[in-house]
Amino acid sequence: MRIGIFGGTFDPIHVGHLAAAVNAKAGANLDKVLMVVANIPWQKDGLRRVHPANERLALVKAAVSGVEGLEASDIEIRRGGESYTIDTVIDIQKNFPNDELFLIIGADVASELETWERVDDLADLVTLVIVNRPGSANPGNLGDRWNYIEVEVPSLDISSTDLRARAIEGRPLDYLIPAAAIQYIREHNLYGPGEEPE
Ligand code: ATP
Ligand code: MG
């Protein structure tokens, strides 16, 4: 199998993530995509309040339910602590020893790769699938250490940062987040006005 790993804080998940995931799956011929919810995203730790991992996971589950080939993964939450992609890839490789692993990242993340933990090991284990993202230029040549492909996805100028600001200001989230996830947000009173702005 060809397995896609799409990691994120998903605070909250939005249709930009989902359109990227399904189009990366189709464009890179993947059998499935694991939407891996970060437990503690080390890049964001201390900079802002990140919503509890189980709430973010519940939203991802709601968002992918009924979509063939997308799965919510709690592998980083079960491992606990700070979430490093290299650890996740090693864990997934143990579960799927005969499968090929693809790491899906947006263009904004592609330009930060060199700051990641044990990046040489990571480059040995995965093929990158880089998707375009409005506001971030696609990276040029990533150099010899990476195997990578670029997949064109619909350009959706949506970010979780903007959605959190919308929620606090009482502006609509509808159609930017899948309806099932919106319903979960409403039922559990998440991302409401009353939260601290960032
Ligand atoms: P935040 O604004 O909090 O950083 P985000 O919208 O960037 O949230 P993340 O959880 O940080 O979402 O991103 C997870 C992955 O999804 C990253 O690889 C990121 O590049 C990608 N991604 C996020 N939004 C889009 C989008 N609109 N189009 C393509 N890729 C996206
Ligand atoms: Mg981001």
The tens digit of pLDDT for each residue in 29-43 reads 999 999 999 999 887
In ligand 1, the atom with minimum distance to the C-alpha of 159 is 6
The answer to whether the Cα torsion of 77, 126, 92, 130 is positive or negative is positive
Q: Residue 132: what pLDDT?
A: 98
pLDDT of residue 44: 74
Ligand 1 contacts CB of residue 162 (under 6 A): no
The answer to the question of residue 184 being in a domain is: no
- Which pTM was predicted? 0.97
In a domain, 196, yes or no: no
**CB-hemisphere CA count at 13 Å for 23?**
19
Q: How far is the CA of 180 from the centre of ligand 2 (A)?
A: 22
Within a domain: 122? yes
Q: What's the pLDDT score for residue 90?
A: 98
Which residue among 40, 108, 173, 177 has the greatest number of ligand 1 atoms within 8 angstroms of its CB, and so is best to mutate? 108
Instruction: Give the model's pLDDT for residue 196.
Output: 77
Nearest Cα residue to 11 out of 46, 58, 78: 58
Tell whether 188 is covered by a domain.
no
Please indicate, yes or no, if residue 186 is contained in any of the structural domains: no
Radius of gyration of the chain (CA): 16
Report pLDDT for 70: 98
Give the 3-state secondary structure of residue 195.
strand
SS3 110: helix
Q: Which domain holds residue 20?
A: 2-157
Query: Residue 198 domain-assigned?
Result: no
pLDDT at residue 43, rounded to an integer = 78
What is the percent of the chain with per-residue pLDDT over 70, rounded to a whole number? Answer: 99
User: Residue 197: what pLDDT?
Assistant: 75
With a cut of 50, which residues of the chain have pLDDT below it? none
* Ligand 1 and 88: CB distance under 6 A: no
- Is residue 21 domain-resident? yes
CATH number at residue 145: 3.40.50.620
CA of 96 to the centre of ligand 1 (A): 26
**CA 88 to centroid of chain Cα atoms:** 13
Q: Reduced to 3 DSSP states, what percent helix, strand and coil does the chain have, rounded to the nearest 5?
A: 35, 20, 40
109 to each of 112, 162, 180, 184, how far by Cα in Å? 5, 17, 27, 28
Residue 172 falls inside a structural domain: no
How many domains does the chain fold into?
1
